[in-house]
Amino acid sequence: MQYHSTIWDKVRQGDEAAFRQLFEEQWEALFTYACKILKDQEQAQDITQGLFMHLWEKHAALPPVAAVTPYLRHALRNRLLNAIRDQHVYERHVDLFRQAALESDNSLIEGLHLKETEQQLLRSINTLPDKMKNVFYLHRIENLSVAEIAARTGSSEQTIRNQLNTALQRLRTKWNSISWFFF
pLDDT digit string, tens, across residues 136-172: 878 877 788 999 999 988 989 999 999 888 888 887 7
Looking at residue 72, what is its pLDDT? 96
Q: Between 108 and 55, whose confidence is greater? A: 55
Measuring CA to CA, how many Å separate 33 from each of 14, 65, 66, 163? 26, 21, 21, 83
SS3 content of the chain, % helix, strand, coil (to 5): 85, 0, 15
pTM reported for the whole predicted model? 0.51
Domains of the chain by range and CATH? Answer: 2-94 (1.10.1740.10), 127-183 (1.10.10.10)
Q: Which of 47-61, 62-76, 88-102, 147-161 has the weakest average pLDDT?
A: 88-102
Residues 6+ apart with CB under 8 A from 156: 150
Collapse the DSSP code of 67 into the 3-class scheme (helix H, G, I; strand E, B; otherwise coil) and give the result: coil
